[in-house]
Structure 1
Amino acid sequence: MKIPDIFYVEDDVDYAFFMQSAIQEVRETLNLTIVEDGSEALTRLQSFADSKVKPKLILLDLNLPGLSGLDLLKFIRDIPYLKSIPVILFSTSDNPEDVKASIEFGANAYLTKPDGYDNLVKCVHSLHDFWFNQHLRLN
């Protein structure tokens, strides 16, 4: 099993494609795994825990088929092996209640998906700089 640097749960295949392109533009060597369904993501996350491997960062869409991003976040935070992985909710919603719930359930951050590809690339640059260059260097 190849360990992803970023495990991304996103049901919009077009947005997932743009994210894949943006990540490759920011850093070609980053390994991105995309899962389209909350239930499938749960299975993959459990297999990471069972295999004692983990991604460096998890991005979760809020509204997913199967299980929601919040449900997945609860699962991640309840599994000792996975709970230290930074999790970012990455959604089109900018509803303050969604942001509040995400933080209360243990998200490290909540980002509203940017409009346009150039803004997505800038967002991925910022994510990469903080979570891979700054944050992980401290651990």
Structure 2
Amino acid sequence: MISPDIFYVEDDQDFAFILEHAMKEVREDLTLSVVEDGRDAIRSLEKFVENKNKPKLILLDLNLPGLSGLDILKRIKEIPYLRFTPVILFSTSDDPTDVKASYEFGANAYITKPSGYNNLVTCIRSMHEFWFNQNRTIN
């Protein structure tokens, strides 16, 4: 299993498709892996660990079938190999309770999904600039 640049857990296939196209506008060679279910996400993350590779960034939707984004976040932070991989909660919710819980469980950022394609491209461009170009990691 080759590690993608971005591992995205999103149950809305249409939104994931649109995000992938927006991402390609930002940088054509970025790779994205999408899983739709929380339990499948955990299995994929375990395979990353087993194969000693990992994504550069993990995006999690909050409300997912199987396990929630917060459940996945908690699990990621328990896995030493993945603990320092940046994790962003990427949700339609802007409820302060969701934001607070995400940070309490170790999210590196919480971003409310923008409306409109151009706003999504701008959001992805900002994420890419910060997490891939400016942020320094220990991974």
Range into which the TM-score falls when normalised by the shorter chain: over 0.9
Shift of 1:67: 0.5
Shift of 1:49: 1.0
Shift of 1:14: 0.7
Shift of 1:99: 0.1
Aligned to 2:23: 23
Aligned length, in residue pairs: 139
Aligned with 2:50: secondary structure? helix
Q: Contact conserved, 2:3 with 2:55, CA < 8 A, in 1?
A: yes
1:64-83 matched pairs, under 5 angstroms: 64-83=64-83
Query: What TM-score do you get using the length of structure 1 for normalisation?
Result: 0.97
Q: Contact conserved, 2:7 with 2:55, CA < 8 A, in 1?
A: yes
Give yes or no for the alignment of 1:85 onto 2:54. no
Give yes or no for the alignment of 1:105 onto 2:83. no
Aligned to 2:117: 117
Shift of 1:136: 3.8
Shift of 1:53: 0.7
CA distance in 1, matches of 2:122, 2:44: 28
Aligned with 2:75: secondary structure? helix
Q: Which amino acid in the other structure matches residue 62 of structure 1? A: L
Shift of 1:2: 1.5
Aligned to 2:46: 46
Give yes or no for the alignment of 1:11 onto 2:11. yes
Change (3 A) 1:137 1:79: closer
Shift of 1:51: 1.3
Aligned with 2:133: secondary structure? helix
Change (3 A) 1:37 1:94: same
Shift of 1:36: 0.7
Shift of 1:138: 8.1
Change (3 A) 1:23 1:136: farther
Structure 2: any 5+ residue segments left out of the alignment? none
Aligned to 2:129: 129
Shift of 1:127: 0.2
CA distance in 2, matches of 1:55, 1:46: 12
Hey, which bits of structure 1, 4+ residues long, moved more than 3 A?
A: 136-139
Aligned with 1:90: secondary structure? strand
Structure 1: any 5+ residue segments left out of the alignment? none
Give me the CA root mean square deviation: 1.2
